[in-house]
Structure 1
Amino acid sequence: MSPFDVKPTGTGYPAPTKPKVTVVTVVLNSCEFMEATILSILGQTYENLEYVVIDGGSTDGTLDIIDRYKSRIDRLVVEKDRGIYDAMNKSAKLVTGDYLIFMNSGDEFATEQSVAELSACARDDETLIYGGWIVRYSWGLERAGHPARPGDFWRGMFVQHQSVMVKTQYFREHQFDLTLGLGADYAFLLQLINSGAKVSECGTIVSRVSAGGASDNNRKGVLMAHWDQARRYYPGLKTDVHYLKAIARERLAAFVKKCLPASVVKGIISSKA
């Protein structure tokens, strides 16, 4: 079997041995979006599910929202952290599931079957299972996103972390490197893939993610961070030329966005959906 396999959704493990899946939500001052994220997770039909919430010390009412659902949250931690990846790393000591999914505030599962569909693809002791996603824009547009082919992983982040399910034990042993900033998630995935671990794409849309996050708002910084990581595993002129072109395109896009009215920019994005 190839290390990379696209698997249709199906029954997966027999019911008595379905893997336990932990969903972790990391949040800080997100009262506008937190409830939708919580309801998306609590609404999953998958029975062998654990829910952990890690709040970085919210002061805007987010904790009041969390308190409404406290009886259905298995673990809740409220304490300051050193950023999103530090908060996500904390989950390694809290979760008890076989697999781990990060669904942070502002994002949601695509359907109430999403966790069940991902877990159904865990058939061969895979370390990583991933699927597609839908990007939501503030004006209502939704656009589907699909993972890159295995041969193109060097080109940059090939999947949204909200659509990834990783073995908990692997995450405990290989957490996000806090020194890498915006490149931490890509570095984690490249390390996993190049370790020879079993990786499978599950043929389903897993999550709905909101445009305008930290990575979207600093695309040049993200590309630079990804380039640095790609060169570690895929060194050579091909990699360098790809990222130089990508950075040039991003600079041009940023310039155009500044020059054009917001309505025109929205129209351009919508035309590509």
Structure 2
Amino acid sequence: MPQLTIITITYNAEKYLGRTLQSVATAARLVPGVADSIEYILVDGASTDATLQIAERYSLILSRIMSEPDHGLYDAMNKGLSLATGEYVWFLNAGDEIHDGQVLSRLFHAFESQADVYYSDALFVGKNGESVGLRSEVTPHSLPKKIHWRDFALGMKISHQAFIVRREIAPPYDITNLSADIDWEIECLKRSKKTEYLPFILCRYLVGGLSTQQHRRSLLDRFKVLRKHFGLLPTLWNHARIGWRGVRFVATKKKSRVNT
């Protein structure tokens, strides 16, 4: 059984898939012997562009390529989970990258602690690969070094691409909810007996995903997720807090720019 399964979801991702596959290939090459401990699965939604041709160029690192129609991102992610055989699973979607060449060696060393969940900050990058900043700095979401599922009362504390979970505790995603990633992380943390913060950055996260493209529905679905875990009245109150936090965050950023 491989120690880590990396799962990449694609659909017509020819513009960005290469950077993801190359980052994994480079990181694995820099750590002798680590390739034998990694399973890499690509789940494609029957792309009509050059996505599959690009994937074939990386057949030496891809353990399996599945391409068939699906019912959206989270249906494809569930397929990836069902195919995975690794002890831990890590989702890196098209355009996302392993942060640097030291990540895998540091990650496999961290696995010696046998935690159920590992997490870190994520570096946001634009479409051209330019750095936007750490998620904990460019969004209102601070990242505590000790985290509990109740810390998600004000939204998603950890970037999905910076969240690695033991496969046996990972539930399926709710394919009807655009904020299913928040629900999934909360469920994983509820089941985790040991959760560990990683003092290094796991990934470069390409901004502008599905929930960004369908922002209004994503917000409504986030409310459903938080109501499920925290109750109606606390969620109504917490959404007021989310709004106020956002206003303060924007004001602070504007003030900082003026002062500089």
Amino acid at match of 1:38: L
Match of 1:101 in 2: 90
In structure 2, how many angstroms separate the alpha carbons of the residues matched to 1:271 and 1:164?
Answer: 31
When structure 1 is superposed on structure 2, of 190-199 and 101-110 the one drifting more is 190-199
In structure 1, how many angstroms separate the alpha carbons of the residues matched to 2:198 and 2:67?
Answer: 33
The total of aligned residue pairs comes to: 237
Match of 2:17 in 1: 34
When structure 1 is superposed on structure 2, of 144-153 and 62-71 the one drifting more is 144-153
Amino acid at match of 1:162: Q
Are residue 215 (structure 1) and residue 211 (structure 2) matched?
A: yes
Q: Give the TM-score normalised by structure 1.
A: 0.77
In structure 2, how many angstroms separate the alpha carbons of the residues matched to 1:271 and 1:224?
Answer: 32
Are residue 57 (structure 1) and residue 46 (structure 2) matched?
A: yes
Q: Indicate the percent of aligned positions where both proteins have the same amino acid.
A: 27
1:204-224 CA-to-partner distances (Å, cap 9, x unmatched) read 111111111122233443333
Amino acid at match of 1:165: I
1:131-177 CA-to-partner distances (Å, cap 9, x unmatched) read 11111134734211236332632111111111111111222xx1111
Match of 1:23 in 2: 6
Q: CA RMSD in A?
A: 2.8
In structure 1, how many angstroms separate the alpha carbons of the residues matched to 2:244 and 2:217?
Answer: 12
- SS of residue in 2 equivalent to 1:91: helix
Q: CA deviation at 1:22?
A: 1.0
Instruction: Give the 5 Å matches for 1:83-122.
Output: 83-122=72-111
Is the Cα contact below 8 Å between 2:179 and 2:218 reproduced in 1? yes
Match of 1:188 in 2: 184
Q: In the superposition, relative to structure 1, how do residues 208 and 245 fare at CA in structure 2: closer, same or farther (>3 Å)?
A: same
Q: CA deviation at 1:92?
A: 2.4
Are residue 176 (structure 1) and residue 173 (structure 2) matched?
A: yes
Amino acid at match of 2:14: C
Q: CA deviation at 1:44?
A: 1.7
Q: Give the TM-score normalised by structure 2.
A: 0.80
1:4-39 CA-to-partner distances (Å, cap 9, x unmatched) read xxxxxxxxxxxxxx9711111110101111111100
Is the Cα contact below 8 Å between 1:156 and 1:223 reproduced in 2? no
Gaps of 5+ in 2: 137-141, 248-252
Instruction: Give the 5 Å matches for 1:57-76.
Output: 57-76=46-65
1:89-135 CA-to-partner distances (Å, cap 9, x unmatched) read 11223222111101010111111222332332223432211111111
In structure 1, how many angstroms separate the alpha carbons of the residues matched to 2:193 and 2:119?
Answer: 14
Match of 2:143 in 1: 148
In structure 2, how many angstroms separate the alpha carbons of the residues matched to 1:63 and 1:24?
Answer: 15
Is the Cα contact below 8 Å between 1:223 and 1:247 reproduced in 2? no
Match of 2:116 in 1: 127
Match of 1:255 in 2: none
When structure 1 is superposed on structure 2, of 43-52 and 162-171 the one drifting more is 43-52
Q: In the superposition, relative to structure 1, how do residues 233 and 112 fare at CA in structure 2: closer, same or farther (>3 Å)?
A: same
Q: In the superposition, relative to structure 1, how do residues 237 and 143 fare at CA in structure 2: closer, same or farther (>3 Å)?
A: same
Match of 2:250 in 1: none
In structure 2, how many angstroms separate the alpha carbons of the residues matched to 1:197 and 1:82?
Answer: 32
Amino acid at match of 1:44: A
In structure 2, how many angstroms separate the alpha carbons of the residues matched to 1:168 and 1:195?
Answer: 11
Match of 2:139 in 1: none
- SS of residue in 2 equivalent to 1:204: coil
In structure 2, how many angstroms separate the alpha carbons of the residues matched to 1:271 and 1:113?
Answer: 33
Amino acid at match of 2:143: A
Is the Cα contact below 8 Å between 1:118 and 1:130 reproduced in 2? no
